Chain A
């Protein structure tokens, strides 16, 4: 008997009582989504900025390695998407389009289509996500309803920059991944 059959047979042999799978209510929140989303991002140590603030951020820091995958900010891009993910190691800024955001926790949904290479939002030193404020939903239940049966090889809820508190519970931003997350909310 294979291990697979062995395990499945063992489980099957255990007498079990039926236990119904519950339906999930929507738990609508009465709060305004935009205000709640901004507070959530800030609590996660991210920032919500305007497009012109993004341009200032890039100019002041004199970033030279910038990769933009959004439509509309092509002029900011200094390099194309490489074929090998390892070449992104020195990337300073990645600008990508988010599909929608979740007000209750600041999570933004991305899939392969938004990332180009899956490592992009992690390996870049600074991450910028452009998000239409009309795309905001209230909570994670609504979020998964929106994702529905969407089929992407990789999906990501990203809610802030890389962080850790593993040394004496002191919060440090920029553990392995992006040292900052900036969200540009658009209203198109």
Chain B
């Protein structure tokens, strides 16, 4: 289903849609406010951007350096070309340890690889331990936001869910009560798991260490109680130096939720005595994206989610309207790289307002890339009248032309727009909006009479 269809469905529940918009606006506002308490904010963004540019320009060197240092620290390093290989590697480690149940903290990469269903099909119980992720896992849903996975749900929904799954009191919607019920439930899971999986926020080439940031402490509860820690990491998560973390940790949480830093920022350099750490370095389309000159910048993303919170479309259409693992503006420039046909409506789910680009802590030119993807998509689709791009070209600017002009003036620009489409555009415009009154004369006519 296309983005417009799912967006209008989301807007059907007007009260909930308004709540979604206002709640995420509140998060954006917190981000705006805290960023303004840092005089060097814009300089930090510039530095982060430059560091990431340097990483992309020297990626193979840094990956090799990272691997060498990690191995020297007794970390096992694996390489996966794609999602399937990633999943097989993880399964292999679990099988080696006869592990049948794991705990997992938030990792967009494992969502991207669809690791959960893969492991479950192989008889492994997977428990997502981030509260929001546990909630959506109970519902058999994917996260609707990369930082706030259950933002599409109301506490009433969660209360009903927990009553069913965790036997909480019926009708008790108190977030503290519900959170503590989840705490008790997940504590058991932490204590019982032999293997814990986490994502990676940053991998440091210079030291071979990697950093995981959470507020709940769920990643650490999992890995420090388990015997084996598997960290799944996209190859673009590398940064060159330890001191670069100073830049990124200052930007990440402020951009994500408007807090000065996440409460837990764990630096894993070598396993505790008697334990194991595995890192799986995953490509899965990243090298293809790196080879696309106009789109490689999207790999600078540190997954803060600020572009979702600020996006007037995301706030009013919800994460599921995108139908991609990563929703929102950043998702709309990453996803077409994975499957341009499937995600062809996403780059058009934007007014190109540019707010995403201005909040991005690593200065990805998101709205410019949305524009560039539009160009790629229409080229791929040609001028077949049945193609989606033709419907998209059915724009309101086209309306006055087809409506008013019979002369040759605009034809150059309009030659690919059949009348049927422009007229249907007019109808769509008029559904909930009045058209401007047609003036007696055009500006050009007036000018001829009054100035020449």
Chain A interface (Cβ within 8 Å of chain B)?
A: 2-4, 6-8, 10-12, 14, 16-22, 24-25, 27, 40, 43-44, 85-86, 89, 104-107, 112, 117-119, 122-123, 139-141, 143-145, 147, 149, 151-170, 172, 174-178
Contact = CB atoms under 8 A, between A and B. Distances in A.
B81 A85 contact: no
Contacts of B148: 165-166, 169
Contacts of B85: 3
B60 interface: yes
Given A140-B250, A156-B264, A174-B179, A19 B221 contact: no
Contact of A144 (B57, B150, B246): B246
B54 A20 contact: yes
Interface in B252-281: 257, 259-272, 281
B264 A106 contact: no
B131 A139 contact: no
Contacts of B267: 154-157
A71 B350 CA distance: 58
Contacts, number: 234
A14 B287 contact: yes
Nearest to A40: B260
A166 B135 contact: yes
Q: Which 3 A-B pairs have the closest CB atoms?
A: A177-B217, A119-B224, A166-B132
A170 B217 CA distance: 17
Interface string B171-185: 000011011101100
B36 interface: no
A144 B245 contact: yes
B59 A24 contact: no
Which label, helix, strand, loop or mixed, suits the secondary structure of the B interface?
A: helix
Nearest to A84: B225
30 contacts: A3-B81, A4-B79, A11-B60, A14-B290, A18-B57, A24-B47, A44-B263, A105-B261, A106-B260, A118-B224, A140-B245, A153-B269, A153-B272, A154-B269, A154-B272, A157-B267, A158-B263, A159-B262, A159-B263, A160-B263, A164-B131, A164-B179, A166-B148, A167-B131, A170-B175, A175-B182, A176-B183, A176-B190, A176-B217, A177-B217
Interface of B: 23, 26-27, 40, 43, 47, 50-51, 53-54, 56-60, 63-64, 67, 73, 79-81, 85, 129-132, 135, 148-151, 154-155, 158, 175-176, 178-180, 182-183, 186-187, 190-191, 209, 215-218, 220-221, 224-225, 235, 240-247, 249-250, 257, 259-272, 281, 283, 287, 290-291
B151 A177 contact: no
Contacts of A104: 250, 260
